[in-house]
Amino acid sequence: MSESLRIGILGSGSWATALAKMVCENVDELNWWIRTEDMYEHLGKFGHNPRYIESIQFPVDKLRLSLNMQDVIDRSDVLIVAIPSLFLHDVFEEHKPRGLEGKLVISAIKGMIPQFNSIPARYLHKRLNIPYENIGIVCGPCHAEEVARERLSYLTVACPDTEKAERFACYLRTRYIKANTSDDVFGVELAAVLKNVYAVGAGLAHGLGYGDNFISVLISNSAIEMKRFIDAVHDIDRNIKSSPYLGDLLVTAYSVNSRNRSLGTMVGSGYTVKSAVIEMKMVAEGMTGAKGINEMNKKFQIDIPIADAVYRILHERMSPVLEMRLLSDNLG
């Protein structure tokens, strides 16, 4: 790295904790905004997050923790925003962050901003006045739990300015993390939203008792549907079979670590959507993603039957049995 960048993280959930682990291996100091006082005190004293991925041990001397979001923003050249999409707008409304326009802001937000049915990049640009060339996205396929175990994982950093993407990617690379770059911010973000929706669908099928054969057809059709939707919204030359698109879809749809697959499995097994969300005690971004994609598609009118079925099950109380039976008759 020719020039050292000061890195800050906003958020303290599992994905924020995993990203902090990667960055800590490449910096002498990490600025980190922690929302709750008990987590702030525990992390500063013992070097691990008491609520998320407790197995990750941080060098306390590298952590510059703060309960004040603006302090972290002011001390950082690059901000990683890893706040769940469901809460992002409320958090920013509460803390009124300033001065983000001149920073490189990397979104690690995996979902739609529900108040605006907006992908994170558009929200950051419209609400916080951050130029698109200063907005980046970090995506998988990568589960936080496997980062904790230091299993080989792959990330993609997307930014319209690929030089900025590469400069930041250097801070994520470790012996177990490979990081590539892309300029397809909108495509990567839409893929990150859609893969959560399709993972809920895979979980629904699993919970209803469908086997691996059907689920493989469901996911292969989901990949086709994903390409059709992304190309209609943002038509550039992209390889949908590459890791930030198909790879992230596969790991989210099949992994036991996938919260979205777990949500679908519970609903398919007989839980109501509300009871499944309460039982999980964690955010499954496919909930807001399904609604956001449905709203977005009112403009584009793209044929996305799998995403539509997941939306109807999660938000219109339609029968999972009926919706999956109708899909099974129309998949090829």
Same domain, 175 and 215: no
Q: Please spell the DSSP secondary structure of 103-169, one letter per residue.
A: SEEEE---S-BTTTTB-HHHHHHHHH---GGGEEEEE-S--HHHHHTT--EEEEEE-SSHHHHHHHH
Does residue 2 sit within a domain?
A: no
Residue ending a domain, among 163, 183, 203, is 183
Q: Domain of 112: which CATH number? A: 3.40.50.720
pLDDT score for 110: 83
Same domain, 166 and 53: yes
pLDDT band at 3 (very low <50, low <70, confident <90, very high): low
Of 30-34, 140-144, 249-253, the least confident: 140-144
Residue ending a domain, among 123, 157, 183, is 183
SS3 state of residue 180: strand
Helix-helix angle 259-268:185-208, to 10 degrees:
30
Same domain, 202 and 314: yes
Look at the chain and report how many structural domains it folds into.
Answer: 2
Please, what is the average pLDDT of the chain? 94
Same domain, 196 and 175: no
Residue 219 has pLDDT above 60, yes or no: yes
Residue 331 has pLDDT above 80, yes or no: yes
Residue 250 in tokens: 């596969």
Mean pLDDT on 239-251: 94
Mean pLDDT on 63-88: 96
Which one is predicted more confidently, 111 or 222?
A: 222
Tokens 């013992």 sit on residue: 46
Same domain, 141 and 252: no
DSSP state of 247: I
Does residue 25 sit within a domain?
A: yes
Q: Using omega within 30 degrees of 0 as the cis cutoff, is the peptide bond preceding 141 cis?
A: yes
Residue 15 domain boundaries: 7-183
Tokens 């749809």 sit on residue: 253
Mean pLDDT on 313-323: 96
Q: Do residues 166 and 181 touch, judged by C-beta distance below 8 A?
A: yes
Torsion of CA 220, 225, 227, 233, to 10 degrees: -160
